[in-house]
Structure 1
Amino acid sequence: MNCEVCHLKELEVEAIEIPEVLRCILHTIVFHRALGLVRPKDVDSELFDITYVQCGDAELEKKIEEKIDQFIAWVEKHPNKKSQICLSFFEIKNKQATWFSNKIERSYWEHWYIYMNVVPSKSHAGKSHHAKARKDSLEVAEERTARRASLETTLREVLFQIVRFVDEKKDHIPSVPSLEGVSFPYEITFPSASDSSFGMDMIKRMLQTGHPTMLS
């Protein structure tokens, strides 16, 4: 099967910004791969002047939040490093039963790579030399505001990149497996919390939804 790959533009983020950035991106991708009846839900970002759409499925939202939490735990162990998340969609081709296990064969048809450069947060000035500290604090605040605005611009570009990819790449999408689920089967992977360096011996930490319950 033809597997399409989309490499999204790299985002420079502070650790505190990671959850909201990933919510915007992951929910936008999953919404565009929704199946059957969904209840689209507009969500206003808490950090950015951006509105994105969720599928309106509580279980799906919960599992994405769990995956974001796991990724943040990895970032905390590997501070100020570039990192990568991959959201993959696949088909379950067949199941092979043996005496010891049930083997599920996955046929991947789409990969989305999210790249983040996690940078240290700027701290406020100390208490000494009051006038200088106030000036330094204002400079830090201005720099953070400018950097946040730049991130918002780049995040918008990434969301438009997702929409363009979805509009242009359609021939590789498999037939709808059933009308039981909200999304095609997918998984989200990144280096495990025990990895000593990014990009070496990446261990998949999979989030497989299978077929979530259809909304009534």
Structure 2
Amino acid sequence: MSSPNYPIVKIDLSLERRTARDVLTAVLHSILFHRLFGTVKPEIREVLDVSMPAVDDPEIKQLVDLKVDAFWKGVESDVNKRGEFIVTFSEKRPRKSWFLISEEEVPWEQWVVNAEIRPPIPERERQKYDADLASTLAKSLQSMLTHTSSERGRSAVPLITNAQGISPFPVKIVVKVNGTEVSG
């Protein structure tokens, strides 16, 4: 299988059940905040003393909650307790065939958030775990900023021809647990 000709940004998270939902929601919101080019009403999510940008939009909140819920349902029944969120940004391009003209979605960037739910942390190790996770979140946020402001990150974005709505581009979030897509 050949590698795609668009950037793929990966974020790896090792999470405990207690904070996993908040962390996953914040990370997905931060990705969307940096890649939705419509009028975005900003919001801040505080997770383990890390301020992460979020999108204050009912549809986006519902989409993120739906996908995080799907992840939870999937990992509950999975022995490995790991899965991934694949956030794909695409553009619509005309597709011509013999008898009709239609549109196809062509990806221009993908974000893969790998998440593993680890066993509960003993109370004596909680402070170190929380500090390590906060550091991972800060590094993830830095990766988002670095990528989206880099030449490669900026050049991946297609020409914006439709300024309606919160995103001029189709956004798709797929949740996989143990390699199988789960729906919410």
TM-score of the superposed pair, with normalisation by structure 1: 0.72
Counterpart residue type for residue 113 of structure 2: I
**2:158 corresponds to which of 174, 190, 196:** 174
Question: Cα offset for 1:176?
Answer: 1.5
Give me the whole-angstrom Cα distance separating, in 2, the residues matched to 1:82 and 1:44: 24
Q: Deviations over 1:79-116 (max 9, x none)?
A: 4433222111011224789xxxxx75210010101112
Counterpart residue type for residue 23 of structure 2: V
Question: Cα offset for 1:2?
Answer: 4.1
| Higher relative contact order structure (alpha carbons within 8 Å, sequence separation ≥ 6) | 2
TM-score of the superposed pair, with normalisation by structure 2: 0.83
Q: Residue 148 of structure 1 aligns with which residue? A: 130
Q: Residue 50 of structure 2 aligns with which residue? A: 50
Percent identity between matched residues is 26
**1:191 corresponds to which of 164, 169, 176:** 176
Give me the whole-angstrom Cα distance separating, in 2, the residues matched to 1:144 and 1:93: 49
Matched, 1:3 2:2: no
Q: Residue 17 of structure 2 aligns with which residue? A: 15
Q: Residue 67 of structure 1 aligns with which residue? A: 67
Which one has a bigger Cα radius of gyration? 1
Give me the whole-angstrom Cα distance separating, in 2, the residues matched to 1:80 and 1:49: 29
Tell me if the contact between 1:80 and 1:119 (Cα under 8 Å) persists in the aligned partners.
no
Question: Cα offset for 1:161?
Answer: 0.8
Counterpart residue type for residue 78 of structure 2: H
* 5+ long unaligned stretches in structure 2: none
* 5+ long unaligned stretches in structure 1: 98-102, 123-139, 193-197, 208-216
More deviation, 152-161/86-95: 86-95
Tell me if the contact between 2:88 and 2:111 (Cα under 8 Å) persists in the aligned partners.
yes
Equivalent residues in 2 for 1:1-216, closer than 5 Å: 2-8=5-11, 10-45=12-47, 48-94=48-94, 105-122=104-121, 140-168=122-150, 169-183=153-167, 184-191=169-176, 198-199=178-179, 202-203=180-181, 205=183
Q: CA RMSD in A?
A: 2.5
Question: Cα offset for 1:120?
Answer: 1.2
